[in-house]
Structure 1
Amino acid sequence: MKDYYLSEFPPELILLLSAPLSTASLNALTLTSRRTHEILQPELESRITPKLGEKLLLWASDSKPHIVDKLLAPPHSIHPSPGNGLDNLTALHVAAKAGNLEIASMLLEAGANPAASWDQDEYEPLHLAVINEDLAMMRLLLDHGAPLDHCFGCDGASENALHRACSLGHMEMIKLLLERGARLEARGHYGTPLGFAIRTGNVEVIRFLLEKGADANVAAPLFVLLVGGPPAPLSASLLYIVMGLRHPRSDDEYGRRMLMLLPQWAELQGRTPVRWEGLPLGDKRKQLMALLMAHGATKDGAMATITRHLKPLAEAALYSEEEYLQVIAGMFKEAEEAIPQVTG
């Protein structure tokens, strides 16, 4: 129907014609012209039930603040917190994921729950903000009481906001979270925030966390997924992890599959079995070992793991046990000599 003909109809007739239309069809008709919009919009809004309003709020919360504002206000007064299908997705999740500060602020002021979890990974709005590296959204959510240390992930406890920020190497997010009280020793699937930073090898973040008092002697898992029972050791000190020792069975098919989870995988991928060369230390490995040792990491923790699993570790490196221990001693010696350089 052309706008010309509609413009000739009296309002009463337009309303009468619209009565049998579905809500979707009525909405389409309101968009045909400014006149039909003015006449039919009140009728359209009168059809918004609480259930429909919740769906519309989800739809509008990524980029339509004027609709969000109307739905939150009387007479609709749609509450922003209840989940709406899709594993309890809320409007605040949508706004946080879209990075829409204006809408997120409107929702929070209307009572949206900043701790609502969504999906089997239990994402909260703060988690989505940190994944997006959205510092402004993080600050807004924290200002409205978003929990700092709640975890997300496939097991519901894989990582929290600080863990992800450390993995990303985003210093401003790390500083903000710590300023607001995030726990420096909170555990996730790579251990503490320092363990997450060690995994990505970000020297700036590692140094910052250590200077903030992070425990350099904590243990961390060597594997996240334990499907099929990977060979021991399954966890070790951070100093051990930084040393990048070849894991038992690293050269067979099973070992390669499991070692894809380790940072030194790139060094092993595609190689035929060759003797592992631990010396001389590369600059970055030396720097990280020296940093940890300068902040209290002891050789004892790493050596306890090495001693306990000496035979398979030496075999994986293609050394005798005596040769292997000599290489380990040389690694510690090089790192100790580098301590003045990393602390100067």
Structure 2
Amino acid sequence: MLTDNFDLLPTELILLLGSFLPTPSLNALALTCGRHRDTLQSELEARITPALAQQLLLWAAASHPHIVKKLLASPHLLKPSEGYGACGVTPLHVAAQAGNLVTAALLLAAGADPDLHSGQEDHPPLHFAVKNKNLPMLTLLLDHGARVDARWGCDGMSENALHHACAKGELDMVRLLLARGADPERQGHHGTALGFAVHHRQVAVVRLLLDEGGANLMCTVPLFILFRGGPPLPHHADLLYLAMGLRHPGAKCELREHLERMGMEQDKLLPEGLDYTWKGQPLADNKRELMAMLMAYGASKDATLAVVSKHLSALAKEAEREPDEYLAIIKGMLKEAEDVIPDVLTKYK
């Protein structure tokens, strides 16, 4: 083999050959040339400038803890949060996104800032832990001082770890974040943490927030976040109204305009939580259970009916029903959910 032949060459000749090779080729030779590996490694490390070391650390953070450890130690002594730009991706972002606990722990022990935001969406490492449903990574970051209520997002950092954990239905993450002091009433795109859970129909999370998180059941939540110019009223409603997923007045027109701006077809993009195909009963299981859970904890049918009645003509028109027929369907939905409250409370203990 070629590498066997290299092993037969004198060390002085190997060093001379290495001096003509670019760094990637020299690294490949060092990995395959057993007898001269230590010699070539010394030559490689002599080429590592501070700028190159930073690039290597960013690359190694995903899956090469031994290289991370070497770059953080003497003689390189890299600072893992410095030199990557005010809004650049740092090695800790890379480790968190890759889910590599070993490299993340090395970087944090060396002083990596767990709260630095970076990238187009201004995400801190905490975001990637929640996005990947990685509870150990979330715990590690919080243990090293990550701010539990840190917000992020390209439109003003309006969401946080608790919002996303609720949306994903990650009960253990929600419990951990609440135990570490996350505020269940902090506002985001879908209102409070409870609004996120309702919007994404996470029934178990709803009960957890109400039982253990001290969430406010009587809050109001926004109904739309995607449309420009504002659709017709109502723009906000109670949680039970949100759980019902009713068509919004002007929704089809607003949706069509939005999708045209995005260059997409209507069947390719439907905002989550909005039921554009709903024609009435029977309710989908997750919708029925969600409504039942909210009603079990005191959500007011009267408050929801008041919103519906106020906008009855427009809502009925959107659902292609007569107002009286539409109102009867709404009352039937509420009754159907109310009837299964005991079963839902048993299911989601």
Superposition TM-score tier, normalisation by shorter sequence: 0.7 to 0.9
The CA distance in 1 between the partners of 2:152 and 2:289, in whole Å, is 32
1:79 corresponds to which residue?
Answer: 79
1:267 corresponds to which residue?
Answer: 277
Are the counterparts in 1 of residues 247 and 276 from structure 2 also a CA contact under 8 Å? no
- With over 3 angstroms needed to count, the CA separation of the structure-2 counterparts of 1:323 and 1:57, relative to structure 1, is same
- With over 3 angstroms needed to count, the CA separation of the structure-2 counterparts of 1:26 and 1:216, relative to structure 1, is same
The CA distance in 2 between the partners of 1:6 and 1:317, in whole Å, is 77
The CA distance in 1 between the partners of 2:233 and 2:210, in whole Å, is 28
Among all aligned residue pairs of Structure 1 and Structure 2, give the percentage whose two residues are the same amino acid: 51
The CA distance in 2 between the partners of 1:75 and 1:50, in whole Å, is 10
2:61 corresponds to which residue?
Answer: 61
Are the counterparts in 2 of residues 165 and 174 from structure 1 also a CA contact under 8 Å? yes
2:311 corresponds to which residue?
Answer: 309
2:220 corresponds to which residue?
Answer: 219
The CA distance in 2 between the partners of 1:60 and 1:262, in whole Å, is 37
Gaps of 5+ in 2: 259-268
1:93 corresponds to which residue?
Answer: 93
The CA distance in 1 between the partners of 2:5 and 2:100, in whole Å, is 40
| 1:302 counterpart letter in structure 2 | T
1:292 corresponds to which residue?
Answer: 294
| 1:265 counterpart letter in structure 2 | D
- Say yes or no: does 1:243 pair with 2:244: yes
The CA distance in 2 between the partners of 1:260 and 1:343, in whole Å, is 30
| 1:240 counterpart letter in structure 2 | Y
After superposing the two structures, state which structure 1 stretch, 40-49 or 148-157, moved more. Answer: 148-157
Q: Deviations over 1:199-226 (max 9, x none)?
A: 2222211111111221112122212212
User: Per the alignment, in what secondary structure is the counterpart of residue 296 of structure 1?
Assistant: coil
Q: Deviations over 1:8-34 (max 9, x none)?
A: 544344334433543334323323412
The CA distance in 1 between the partners of 2:133 and 2:271, in whole Å, is 24
The CA distance in 1 between the partners of 2:343 and 2:3, in whole Å, is 78
The CA distance in 2 between the partners of 1:110 and 1:86, in whole Å, is 19
- With over 3 angstroms needed to count, the CA separation of the structure-2 counterparts of 1:49 and 1:339, relative to structure 1, is same
| 2:296 counterpart letter in structure 1 | A
Are the counterparts in 2 of residues 83 and 89 from structure 1 also a CA contact under 8 Å? no
| 1:66 counterpart letter in structure 2 | H
The CA distance in 2 between the partners of 1:112 and 1:300, in whole Å, is 52
1:170 corresponds to which residue?
Answer: 170
Gaps of 5+ in 1: 269-275
1:117 corresponds to which residue?
Answer: 117
Normalised TM-score (structure 2): 0.84
User: Per the alignment, in what secondary structure is the counterpart of residue 311 of structure 1?
Assistant: helix
The CA distance in 2 between the partners of 1:9 and 1:70, in whole Å, is 29
User: Per the alignment, in what secondary structure is the counterpart of residue 35 of structure 1?
Assistant: coil
User: Per the alignment, in what secondary structure is the counterpart of residue 221 of structure 2?
Assistant: strand
After superposing the two structures, state which structure 1 stretch, 301-310 or 61-70, moved more. Answer: 301-310
Deviation at residue 116 of structure 1 after TM alignment: 1.4
How many residue pairs get aligned? The number is 335
Are the counterparts in 2 of residues 122 and 156 from structure 1 also a CA contact under 8 Å? no
Normalised TM-score (structure 1): 0.85
Are the counterparts in 1 of residues 245 and 275 from structure 2 also a CA contact under 8 Å? no
Q: RMSD between aligned alpha carbons?
A: 2.9
After superposing the two structures, state which structure 1 stretch, 33-42 or 148-157, moved more. Answer: 148-157
Are the counterparts in 2 of residues 79 and 112 from structure 1 also a CA contact under 8 Å? yes
User: Per the alignment, in what secondary structure is the counterpart of residue 172 of structure 2?
Assistant: helix
- With over 3 angstroms needed to count, the CA separation of the structure-2 counterparts of 1:134 and 1:280, relative to structure 1, is closer
- With over 3 angstroms needed to count, the CA separation of the structure-2 counterparts of 1:267 and 1:12, relative to structure 1, is same
| 1:137 counterpart letter in structure 2 | M
